[in-house]
Amino acid sequence: MRSDLRSVWFWLTLAALAVLGLFLLLPLFNVLAGSFGGNSGRSGWSLVRQDGKYLTAVVNTLVLGGVVTLLASLIGVPMAYFTARFDFSGKAIVAILPLITLVVPEVIAAQTWLMAFGNNGLVSRALAERGLELPSFYGWFGLITVMTFTYYTYVYIGTLAAIRGFDVQLEEAAQSLGTSPALSRWKVMVPVVLPSVLASALLVFTLVVGNFAVATILSNKVPLLSVLTYQATVSEVGSDPLLQSTLASISVAIVMVVLFLQRWVVGRGRREVVQGRGARAQRLAGWPGVLLGSVAAAVVVISLLPVVTIVVGAFTQARGPVMRWGTWTTANLERVFTRAPDPLFNTLTYAAIATAVGIAFSVAVSYLVVKKRNRLTPLLDYLTALPLALSGTVIGIGLVMSFNTGWLPLTGTGAIIVLAYVVRRLPFGTRNASSTLYNIPDSIEEASISLGVPPLASFFRVVLPLMVPAIVAAAVLTWTTTVAELSASIIVYSGGRETMPIQIFRLIDSGLMAQASAYGLLLVAVIVLPILLATRVFRIDLFASRA
Amino acid sequence: MSLSITRRTALVGVTGLGATIALPGRAQTGSVVIYTSNNAQAVEAVTEVGRKRLPGVKFSTITGGSGQLLRRLEAEAAKPQGDVFWSSSANTLGAFTALFEPYRSPELAAIPKALHHPNGLWSAANIHVAVAMVNRNQLGGAPLPKTWADLLDPRFKGKMIIADPANSSTALTILWGVEKMLGADGLKRLASNIKVTSAAATVLRSVGQGEFAIGLTFESNAYAYVAGGQKEISLVYPSDGTFSTAEYLALIKGAPAGELAKRACDHLLSKDVQTELLLAAYRRPARSDIDVAKLVELPALSSIKIFPVDEEEAAAKRADFLKRWQALAAASGN
């Protein structure tokens, strides 16, 4: 213990823990404690019990989660299987799917599906002219459709990685023992790949539960937990945050249960692939190949619908809330640049600062956790993973409750928005940096130290340069997800500090779809440009797509 | 190769930096934060005209329902973040008088005396008329409702939507008016027909997108859909009498922008801004020097049957009314 105290790394660990305690544990504690009653003596739990709609909302949320997870898996798993194992025409298009997941923010996905299928929408009007009435896109129809096509890519990516990492020699061994190819896949490949698939599916479930943008825009008549939580934050401004903390606590509880389930599923049984040779893709010729190619291409095209609608919508004339499809103008984009460029500047500024701060903190923390283990580092490791269990809304509520007044008032500043971004992305940054550090042998550092370079300098001059490619990849991915963040920032922002997703959300609320599309187009551009730069110019492998 | 920075270079650098920061400011520069319950079109009208009338002043807004914004102002009373509150009806503002600072703008000369506040605590900006916004495609073959009696008909059950009066002064005006005109029984029948949503903007969107057949709101918001060319939207002014209310803006006590906040109030009340608000956001001006019927296709105020309502009484009894309404709404499954 005494030697621990003398080590500078121990004090750094303590400092990191203090920072996390202040900005992560304190908000979470306030959220959980807030549900048990403030000055009025009432408890949030009694409020929730009184009104039946909250129970309905929880049930609806769980049902929605289940249905979307199922449908997303039904699309994602076969696509991943066929992409991994077969060559077919159109396969190149499918390879850009991971990109689409990142490039299209949820708020834009909801908006563009509405612009196509809403009552005023392009497709609805076209069909209505031919006499076909589509059911209302608001409610279950829209929720399930949009969420499935938003989240199936997560299942696709996870399953693809698992199948690619599966050693095909095991399958070949089964076949050489007399089992048919199909049965050998079923009995050998599926059990090995299943944990990853289930892990992705459970991830989709948690994303659906915490989803804010799509749920708020499309749910109208259907009570959902995330929507009611947000509405509670809006209506409880200035009074005790009872309802919002209770609903936030319920959401945290659901996600925690699911995450434990996921850990149990992945940890159950030890499956170590010692040496892996992925299967070679079979060429699928003739009509099966064409069929497969068309189905895959169709799915990808549907996923691209948001981007296409945004581009069309941004250049379409609109009078107030009514879109004049077919007439074109550049006025929407001009308006963004000349009259209201603030959201653009705010997004760029806050996301840049958050990415820089987040990556720096993640690298420091994972260095401590991986290389400088001491008594406290397991706690540090656990804390950095904690934000995974918290939806953006919960984080926003916690930050506002903790930093509204008192000794550290942050509301009204841009700092609280940056803080929300950093906290949300913390697990991703630390996971990424940790996995890179695991691959850097200790001996390199020790060699440097033994040659007389002090430990801290060794870190900066030996370890850090080795991490740079991975750090850059993580920075680009953090940037793309931070720029599109909505659910936390919409709770903590203040006048003049709207980011682009917040502005888009407000414009959709006012029914001004054309203006929302103009911002949406800019948002997509701001997301795509760094990715293009990194992959084309600097040749960084962002998605580990080469198996 | 080493870079040596002499003391002289550093001094020059710092001076240069300091000089750029201390550039002489123009008169009337600064930023004003407006807490507004009005839609994006209205805000844009204000900022657009502001470019010409008050160059150098940056307007930023916080949006929300009037009830929510006022509660937020209450929470911030120790350290106000907003400069101007725009706008709400007297029935909602009455409970929050402690938040505002009296200011008599020179623009009040153009506004009818009947709408002036005795102490100058708030100024009338626009006049609103309640309408039923109807999406004819969603009526299911039923004829267009013309009166309140039609609207209370149970065949519209589940097809009507209104905002929560605790958050929206629009909804409060309409519901208070219905209770005064048709009695507690009328209010009860309305509650059983209608769905309550937490945000006023949802009412417009829902009817516009065909999710609901009838939305109770103010004409300015609903007319945007008609003017935009959405043919199935009709505005119905109930012929047995509808409700009208003036909408006021107020200067927030302790506004951070100081004198600039007062200029912002003048700006919002000015003829240029009010004309633009009429053209872009269809809001009837309180000013008497703008001819509404000449500029837009809204009916003249004199041609609409208005049921008079005592706004002071509404303000005084707001809390009780909200309790009554909550009970009715909960009883009908809202």
What is the tens place of the pLDDT at every residue in B89-107?
888 888 889 999 999 999 8
Phi/psi of residue B158, nearest 5 degrees: 80, -5
If one compares A520 and A264, the residue with the highest pLDDT of the two is A520
CATH code, domain carrying B265 = 3.40.190.10
If one compares A406 and A24, the residue with the highest pLDDT of the two is A24
Nearest residue, CB atoms, B71 vs list A118, A239, A512: A239
Same domain, A399 and A543: yes
pLDDT of residue A95: 72
Residue A295 is assigned to a structural domain of this protein: yes
pLDDT of A546 strictly over 50: no
pLDDT tens digits for range A124-182: 778 878 887 777 777 898 899 999 988 888 888 888 888 887 778 888 888 888 888 88
Residue A319 is assigned to a structural domain of this protein: no
CATH code, domain carrying A13 = 1.10.3720.10
CA B155 to chain centroid? 31
pLDDT of A494 strictly over 80: no
Residue A324 is assigned to a structural domain of this protein: no
What is the spatial distance between Cα A32 and Cα A547, in angstroms, rounded to a whole number? 43
Q: Chain B residues with CB inside 8 Å of A406's CB?
A: none
pLDDT of residue A469: 83
pLDDT of B122 strictly over 80: yes
What average pLDDT does this structure show over A1-21? Answer: 81
pLDDT of residue A115: 76
Same domain, B174 and B46: no
Residue A467 is assigned to a structural domain of this protein: yes
What is the spatial distance between Cα B110 and Cα A85, in angstroms, rounded to a whole number? 77
Same domain, A27 and A78: no
Q: Give residue B26's pLDDT band: very low, low, confident or very high (50, 70, 90).
A: very low
Residue B18 is assigned to a structural domain of this protein: no
Same domain, B78 and B44: yes
Same domain, B323 and B292: no
* Count of domains forming chain B: 2
Residue A152 is assigned to a structural domain of this protein: yes
Residue B7 is assigned to a structural domain of this protein: no
pLDDT tens digits for range A70-122: 999 999 898 888 888 888 776 777 777 767 766 778 887 887 787 788 766 77
What is the spatial distance between Cα A436 and Cα A463, in angstroms, rounded to a whole number? 10
Is A496 an interface residue toward B (CB < 8 Å)?
Answer: yes
What is the spatial distance between Cα A248 and Cα A34, in angstroms, rounded to a whole number? 10
Same domain, A221 and A348: no
Q: What does the mean pLDDT of chain A come to? A: 83
Residue A365 is assigned to a structural domain of this protein: yes
pLDDT tens digits for range A388-443: 888 888 898 888 888 877 677 777 788 899 999 999 988 888 888 888 888 888 88
Could you give the maximum distance between any two Cα atoms of chain A, in Å?
82
Q: Which of A289, A314, A339 is the last residue of a domain?
A: A314
What are the tokens at B36? Answer: 């507004």
What average pLDDT does this structure show over B214-242? Answer: 88
Same domain, B201 and B225: yes
Contact assessment for residue A198 and residue A262, using Cβ atoms and an 8 Å cutoff: yes
Contact assessment for residue B34 and residue B59, using Cβ atoms and an 8 Å cutoff: yes
The DSSP line for A176-207 is HTT--HHHHIIIIIHHHHHHHHHHHHHHHHHH
The residue to which tokens 């599906």 are assigned: A113
Q: What are the C-alpha distances in Å from A212 to residues A61, A295, B285?
A: 12, 30, 37
What average pLDDT does this structure show over A351-377? Answer: 90
pLDDT of residue A40: 58
pLDDT of A274 strictly over 70: no
Same domain, B122 and B148: no
**By percentage, how much of chain A surpasses pLDDT 70?**
92
If one compares A337 and A277, the residue with the highest pLDDT of the two is A337
Same domain, B53 and B174: no
Same domain, B265 and B159: no
Range of the domain at A97: 51-231+240-269+277-314
Q: Give residue A192's pLDDT band: very low, low, confident or very high (50, 70, 90).
A: confident
Task: Indicate the pairing of strand B123-135 with strand B244-252.
Answer: antiparallel
Same domain, B257 and B322: no
pLDDT tens digits for range B160-215: 999 988 878 889 989 999 999 988 898 999 998 898 887 788 888 888 877 789 99
Residue B89, beta-bridge partner list: B247
**By percentage, how much of chain A surpasses pLDDT 90?**
15
Looking at this predicted complex, what is its ipTM? 0.72
pLDDT of residue B22: 39
B197 min Cα distance to partner chain A (Å): 9
Q: What share of chain B is helix, strand, coil (3-state, %, to 5)?
A: 50, 20, 35
Q: Give residue A472's pLDDT band: very low, low, confident or very high (50, 70, 90).
A: confident
The residue to which tokens 């700092």 are assigned: A415
Q: Give residue A537's pLDDT band: very low, low, confident or very high (50, 70, 90).
A: confident
Same domain, B177 and B90: no
Residue B257 is assigned to a structural domain of this protein: yes
What average pLDDT does this structure show over B221-235? Answer: 86
Burial class (CB in 10 A: 0-12, 13-18, 19+), B155: exposed
Crossing angle for the helix pair A242-267 and A190-210, to the nearest 10 degrees: 170
- Of the segments A350-354, A466-470, A510-514, which one has the largest average pLDDT value? A350-354
If one compares A535 and B28, the residue with the highest pLDDT of the two is A535
Phi/psi of residue B105, nearest 5 degrees: -75, 145
Same domain, A421 and A458: yes
Rg value, chain B, Cα: 23
Q: Chain A residues with CB inside 8 Å of B79's CB?
A: 409
Is A322 an interface residue toward B (CB < 8 Å)?
Answer: yes
For residues B188, B316, B254 and A419, what is the CA-based torsion angle, rounded to 10 degrees?
Answer: -30
Residue B238 is assigned to a structural domain of this protein: yes
Is B210 an interface residue toward A (CB < 8 Å)?
Answer: yes
Same domain, A253 and A389: no
Same domain, B255 and B143: no
Do the Cβ atoms of B41 and A510 come within 8 Å? yes
Same domain, B184 and B312: yes
pLDDT of residue A543: 60
Nearest C-alpha neighbor of B100 from the set B160, B151, B35: B35
Q: Chain B residues with CB inside 8 Å of A510's CB?
A: 39-41, 201
Same domain, A512 and A424: yes
Residue A479 is assigned to a structural domain of this protein: yes
Residue B11 is assigned to a structural domain of this protein: no
Q: Chain A residues with CB inside 8 Å of B82's CB?
A: 495
Phi/psi of residue A133, nearest 5 degrees: -95, 115
Q: Chain A residues with CB inside 8 Å of B99's CB?
A: none
pLDDT of residue B19: 44
Contact assessment for residue A425 and residue A390, using Cβ atoms and an 8 Å cutoff: no
The residue to which tokens 């779809």 are assigned: A513
pLDDT of residue B249: 93
Same domain, B112 and B102: yes
What is the spatial distance between Cα B214 and Cα A196, in angstroms, rounded to a whole number? 49
pLDDT of residue A60: 94
pLDDT tens digits for range B241-266: 899 888 899 999 999 988 999 999 99
Residue B3 is assigned to a structural domain of this protein: no
Same domain, A350 and A221: no
Same domain, A111 and A225: yes
Q: Give residue B7's pLDDT band: very low, low, confident or very high (50, 70, 90).
A: low
Hey, which residues 157-186 in chain B have their CB within 8 Å of chain A? 164, 166-167
* Count of domains forming chain A: 2
pTM: 0.80
pLDDT of residue B273: 93
Range of the domain at B149: 128-244+303-331
pLDDT of A544 strictly over 70: no
pLDDT of A466 strictly over 70: yes
Do the Cβ atoms of B227 and A319 come within 8 Å? yes
Same domain, A56 and A169: yes
Same domain, A295 and A348: no
Is A506 an interface residue toward B (CB < 8 Å)?
Answer: yes
Residue A397 is assigned to a structural domain of this protein: yes
